[in-house]
Amino acid sequence: MAQTIFVPKEVDLNEPRVAASPDTVKRLAALGFDVIVETGAGLNSRIIDAEFTAAGAKIGKVSDAGKADVVLKVRRPSDAELKGYKAGAAVLAIMDPYGNDAAVAALAKAGVTAFSMEFMPRITRAQSMDVLSSQANLAGYQAVIDGAAEYDRALPMMMTAAGTVPAAKIFVMGVGVAGLQAIATARRLGGIVTATDVRPAAKEQVASLGAKFLAVEDEEFKAAETAGGYAKEMSKEYQAKQAALTAEHIAKQDIVITTALIPGRPAPKLVSAAMVASMKAGSVIVDLAVERGGNVEGAVPGKVVTTANGVKIVGHLNVPGRVAASASLLYAKNLFAFLETMVDKGTKQLAINREDDLVKATMLTDGGKVVHPNFANAAPAQSEPAAKATRTAEAKSEAAPKKAAAKKPAAKKPATVKPIVPGK
């Protein structure tokens, strides 16, 4: 019997993405699954229901989640959604578990096997499953587009009979996936681009895109990258030196784009109020880390703020969602690539190998427990009656051996054996 995959419409009104595409629906059906897509799930990503049905999906309703063996989502399911899932269902989504212990505990309590897609390891085998990279790539692109829209001037140099329009100076802070795409996009639009990052490998990457690199290149800088390719949190001393170096540079920029994020930590502050005050009127700062506290002092989540000196600080939320039609296609492929590794090709059934490195890295909850080591403290608490029953059962099990031992005659004390010490 074919297993069922359910793709719901996201309940968050600020989330226009969807976790499947007509292409992935075809592929999922080829693996042997019945695919049900909630009506209207793809409308905000420009995918109408008819496209899903043409690809082999059935259009369903919210209650269809109850019969699903696999649920594919963009955002972590809410408590209300979890009530409609059956125990044992596999749920794949961007779970955002850091700082959300209660939500993680709710996943465990619901009995679902939850996978946090943003924990996908950055290894060759998992490149096609890396949701952080696919979505950050689009965020970097969109950051430049948003910055250019707020800047309301031409970005490339233009030489005309009426005079010359100077090229915009664009500074990218943080050269991960988002930063690299921001550099590439800004260069394509004709800007003069500089960039900075704490990772040594970023210097060569920046140069390869035709931009100029700016950083304090001391001993701490040389060791500022984790084994997973992420930036380490730098010392206060290094941050002070880097801030001094960039402060003068920022004052001359037209557009600044900040992208620095550290997994599981608040975003580092890169641009102070004094730096913002030093920029000329009409300049723009786009803070891609605003959802994690922001890289820019004065950034407000979900708003474009204009400072007293006329600088605009852009704090759009869910930037990949601002290009949802593209973001959904990439995200859906990420989910398919991962799910495919957990399907037995012979039986065409979900067969999760809990010893697989990808599963170990991403599995958040399983069998009613929080299984990811980073969130051991998020385990759902037992109710007092249940806890009391557990304690009573434990007491009885401990007492039973004692009673049995009391009935048996005492065993003879074994002879003492001296340990053998090597060399003696």
Predicted local confidence at residue 241, as pLDDT? 83
Predicted local confidence at residue 245, as pLDDT? 86
Q: Is residue 422 part of a domain?
A: no
Catalytic, out of 133, 205, 253, 328: 133
CB 215 within 8 A of CB 198: yes
**How far is residue 361's CA from residue 355's CA, in Å, rounded to a whole number?**
10
Residues 144 and 254 in one domain: yes
CATH number, domain of 124, equals 3.40.50.720
Residues 253 and 116 in one domain: no
Residues 294 and 147 in one domain: yes
Predicted local confidence at residue 233, as pLDDT? 67
Q: Is residue 415 part of a domain?
A: no
pTM (two decimals): 0.84
Q: Is residue 398 part of a domain?
A: no
Residues 123 and 216 in one domain: no
Residues 93 and 31 in one domain: yes
Is 230 an annotated catalytic residue? Answer: yes
CB 342 within 8 A of CB 350: yes
Residues 292 and 365 in one domain: no
Is 326 an annotated catalytic residue? Answer: no
Q: Is residue 408 part of a domain?
A: no
Residues 241 and 224 in one domain: yes
Is 98 an annotated catalytic residue? Answer: no
Predicted local confidence at residue 164, as pLDDT? 95
Q: Indicate left, alpha or beta for 310 from its phi (over 0: left) and psi (-120 to 50: alpha).
A: left
**How far is residue 293's CA from residue 119's CA, in Å, rounded to a whole number?**
20
The number of folded domains in the chain is: 2
Where in the sequence is the domain holding 291, given as residue range(s)? 139-322
Predicted local confidence at residue 405, as pLDDT? 45
Residues 179 and 213 in one domain: yes
Residues 343 and 246 in one domain: no
| Terminal Cα distance for the chain, rounded | 68
Catalytic, out of 96, 98, 230, 272: 230
**385's tokens:** 């009656």
Catalytic, out of 78, 125, 127, 153: 127
Residues 163 and 302 in one domain: yes
Q: Indicate left, alpha or beta for 238 from its phi (over 0: left) and psi (-120 to 50: alpha).
A: alpha
Q: Is residue 351 part of a domain?
A: yes
Is 130 an annotated catalytic residue? Answer: yes
Is 127 an annotated catalytic residue? Answer: yes
Pick the closest to residue 275 from 227, 230, 311 (CA basis): 311
Predicted local confidence at residue 402, as pLDDT? 45
Q: Is residue 91 part of a domain?
A: yes
- pLDDT 10s digit of each residue in the chain, 424 long? 789 999 999 999 999 999 999 999 999 999 999 999 999 999 999 999 999 999 999 999 999 999 999 999 999 999 999 999 999 999 999 999 999 999 999 999 999 999 999 999 999 999 999 999 999 999 999 999 999 999 999 999 999 999 999 999 999 999 999 999 999 999 999 999 999 987 888 899 999 999 999 987 777 776 666 656 556 667 888 878 878 888 999 999 999 999 998 877 889 899 999 999 999 999 999 999 999 999 999 999 999 999 999 999 999 999 999 999 999 999 999 999 999 999 999 999 999 999 999 999 999 999 999 999 999 877 665 434 434 443 444 444 444 444 444 444 444 444 433 333 334 3
Residues 115 and 44 in one domain: yes
Predicted local confidence at residue 115, as pLDDT? 98
Predicted local confidence at residue 226, as pLDDT? 60
CB 115 within 8 A of CB 97: no
Question: DSSP of 185-246, one letter per residue?
Answer: HHHHTT-EEEEE-SSTHHHHHHHHTT-EE----SHHHHT-B-TTSPBPPPPHHHHHHHHHHH
Residues 8 and 99 in one domain: yes
Catalytic, out of 34, 130, 197, 287: 130
